[in-house]
Amino acid sequence: MTTALNDLITALQQLAELPPVERAKRCPELIDTAKAALAHERGAALAEATDSGDWTQAEMGRELGKSRQKIHDMIASYRREQIKEQQAG
């Protein structure tokens, strides 16, 4: 599980402790955060499958109902994020 997904889980757990109006205020931000975290997690999983040699991008595309190019783009996006994080950290 990626750090982004762990951070999202923590934020969602903290949400339950807030008063109703504060929870409502936080939800739009958390929706965007969830989308980003899940996209990152998906990219990590696809990269892991490719790196293991067990799956080709074409095979994953067929399994997931996506084109090989879309799988390639998701992996490339994930890898770019990883490089940025390494350079920043």
What pLDDT sits at residue 68? 97
Please list, in sequence order, all residues whose beta carbon lies within 8 angstroms of the beta carbon of residue 51, skipping any fewer than 6 positions away. Answer: none
Closest CA to 7 of 47, 40, 49: 40
pLDDT in tens, the chain (89 residues): 778 889 999 999 999 899 999 999 999 999 999 999 999 999 999 999 999 999 999 999 999 999 999 999 999 999 999 999 899 97
Closest CA to 72 of 46, 45, 38: 46
Closest CA to 39 of 80, 86, 88: 80
Domain ranges of the chain: 3-88
Claim: this prediction has a pTM higher than 0.85: no
CA pair distance 5, 21, nearest whole angstrom: 25
**What is the dihedral angle through the alpha carbons of 42, 77, 4, 15, rounded to the nearest 10 degrees?**
-80
